[in-house]
Structure formats: C-alpha cells, structure tokens
Structure 1
Amino acid sequence: MALTALIIDDEPLARQELQYLLERAGGVDVLAQGTNGIEAVELIRTHRPDVVFLDVQMPGLDGFGVLKKLLDRRVPLPQVVFATAYNQYAVRAFEVNAVDYLLKPFDRKRVLQTIEKAQSRLTQGERADGSSSADTESKLDALLRLIGEQTQAPVARANTGKVIVRAQSRLLLVDQKEICFATIDEGTITVVTPTVEGHANCRTIEELQEQLDPEAFWRVHRSFLVNIQHIREVVPWFKSSYQLRMDDPKKTEIPVSRAQTKRLKELFNL
C-alpha cells in the first residue's frame, strides 16, 4: 500500500525535485503540494496524510510553527520529514529529537531510506515520533532552543588550510583554493584541481564541505561540490536547466540540480 504524502516548500524547484525523486522511488502517492506554513496546516488537516515533507525555513509560519499549530488545534500529527539546508549541527539536533530529515540538495538514496523508515512506522502503527502530543511539544521546544542557540552563537571561521588528497599512493596536502570541484560516486569522493586528481579522506561529501570555505564552495548537485572561483562557463541545458563547465584540464561539465537553479541565477544575475 502506497504512503500518502504532502510536500510543503516555498521554493518551486525544491518541490519539483522532491516530487521527481518520490515518483522515481515508487510507493508514495503525493496528494498535494503547499507553498507556505498556513497552507501546510490546512492541507494536513484536510488530507490527513501518512507523511509530510516539510521545509524548515518558510516565510511567515515556518516548519516548526506548522507542527505547533497542529498541536494547538489537536490535529493528529502525520510522520514529519524536515527538508533543511541547516548544517550538520542542526541535523544532529533533529536526530536527537527523533525527527527525520532530508538535507538539501536532496539525495536519492537518502530519500529511499526515509520512505522505508516511514513505511516501517506505518506498518507498526506507531505515531510519527512514537510519543504523546505533550512529548512532541516538549521535543519541539527543545529543538527550537538548540536552533536559537546556534543562530546566536558566533560563526566559526572556515578552515582556510589544506585538504588531504590521496593520489598515486601518496597523501598530498592540497590548498583548498586550488580545488576545482569534488564529486562522490559509490561512496568514493574524488577531488579535482588543475594539477591533481585524487580521493578525499572523508566518508561523505558533507564531511568534506565542512572543511571548506562556505563562501567559495557550493553544493550544486547532490553528487557535486564546486569552487565558484573555478567555474569557467554556465551552459544552458534542456528544460531550463544548466550545467557548469569548470576550468580543470578536462573542462568537466557539472549539472546544476533543479533545486539550485535559483541560486545559480542569483549568483550570476542570469
């Protein structure tokens, strides 16, 4: 039996990307999409879906506000999957509070894992978080405090040093400014510079991203992290999509995910 779902996100490209991934995964019937928190409350009350894919950051009523509003109105909570661009500190906060998440840009394997988790809980007849409404409200309050503390805390300076790259049985210290892009394939992260191509000593591309300057490096696609300073050309592609041609020796062309097209246009005034 397919899961019934809602997608709530104020970014059209993010909604389209998630809908596409859910359709490819199968086993999920998306009943409707919403563009803000007010719509989310009404759609959840009307459709009573099994799961809601809920953006955290929305103008007006954000994702947390949606859940609080539902609790106030005594509407049974569906299973909630937060869609977020928060860093790993906030993601760990979601995990501690037993709320599932999808980190933007969306990853197909992670979406599949989330669907399996939601289906398992539905089969077992559990609540979205396995707790009472009071417990859920308490956890949301704790989560809001953690996010608030993070927002108010001084932003740590980005690591502007070296990155270890394995190439030809050697461990090379590469200046991150020299990195053109990094890509992940079957769990292996490849780092490319104008003179070196090797493997990063990281398990995930998120882990590598944390070591790099956030002002210079951009996650343009779930499988690619690029250095903005090494973009040679923006190439229009089919269906209003784009690719980036990098300045590495191979002039590698990297796809821009639909969820990141808005930022691309803002970045280069397209």
Structure 2
Amino acid sequence: MILKCIAVDDEPLALKLVETFIDQTPFLELVCSCDNAVEAMSLIREQQPDLIFLDINMPNLTGMELARLLQEQSGITPKIIFTTAYNHYAIEGYRVNAVDYLLKPFSYEEFLRATSKALQLSEETSTASQVINTDDEFIFIKVEYQWIRVSLKDISYIESLKDYVRVHLTSPLKPLLSLISLKALEEKLPSSKFMRLHRSFIVSLEKITAISKNSILINKTEITVGEQYKETFKVITDKWIK
C-alpha cells in the first residue's frame, strides 16, 4: 500500500526535511506541499491524501485548527502526523485523533516509526472496508477477526464512532462494531434502501417510523437530519406524504 502525503510547514528547512524523508520511504508518495494551513485545506480537498504531515504553529490558521476543521467535515478523513517544536501540544494532538506527534528536530528513525504506524492503521482500515455486497440482499462486515453476514433487511441504522461504525440491527439482534469509515460502508449499501442523513448516521429508509422537518424516528431512536442532507431527504419524503 502506498500512502499519498501532503506536507504543511511554514519553515522552509523543516518542510524540506519532511519532503526528503517522504522521498526516502518506499510506502509514501508526496503529492504536494505548502507553507500554510489555509492553502492546505484547498489541497486536501483536491488531492484527497491518505496522510498529512502538519506543523502546528503557523500564522492565520494553525495546524491544530485545521485538524479540527477536517475532523468536523464529513468525507475528509486523512490521517495526521503533527510536527512541532513544542511538546506541550502532544495531548491536544491526540484529541483530534492524530496518528503520532514528531518533536522537532526529529530523526529519520522517528519519522519512520510514526509513518509505519500510519501505514498499519491504513491497511487495517482498508481490509475492514472490503465489505462484500451480493445482489443487494446482504453484506459481510468484519467484526474483530470474523466476517459476519448481515441481511440488509435487519439493519435499522448505522452510527459513526470515529474510525469505527456501529451497525444497529432489529431486535433481538445485537449491534455490530466494525473498523471501517461510515463513508466506505455507505458506498457498499444500495442507495434505494439506505440514506445518509447526518455526518454520523446512515438509516434504512424502510425502518423509518416517523418524520418531522428536522429529524426522523426509528422506533424510539431520534436522528437529526444534517443541514447538508435536508434537501435530498425532502425529495424522498415528499414522495411519501403527497
């Protein structure tokens, strides 16, 4: 597996070092680099990298602020390795789910250790995302060390939990927890039966028991319809109530 990388640092020498280390690492590919977080946001949207090397202390928009923005935005989930000269940011870095934290000046050995961790996490996520869909009747979802066959008619809704999803099934079946992104699972589900209503939820349309302007009910569970999904949801619900 090759990880596409973006390097972001406002110090030219520090940026050059990261670029050199990336070039020396067989499983990394540098797709672009820049010296500020504002430009980085645009590049991340355009390039869809797997991994970002992100300096924390930058003018206008800090690396930590950029990481929080990425965390809040659906569909943008690159892994992050922070690079900084200040060790007091370490705990804050892990709060935004950073893979690792490199304290400047760092050696290639330290760089390789951090990037190897990112590679391992990416490979685990990739394996978990290989969900098999056969004739839109069932899927296989990896749960721990097993592939569990799940009938689509048994799925009520799916909830995102950072790098995991919880698949809620109809009673008396218990929820399943799988290491996969909500976006990856969404791509495996038939759009005629399932719909993303929120950056953290996918619902089975046939399991919806009540609707309102801003939310739906699946039995006793209320799920808010996210702002960016309201228009699409309205198109569907208009067909139901007219």
- So what's the TM-score if we normalise by structure 2? 0.49
TM-score, with normalisation over the residues of structure 1? 0.44
Higher relative contact order (CA 8 A, sep 6+): 1
Higher strand fraction: Structure 1 or Structure 2? 2
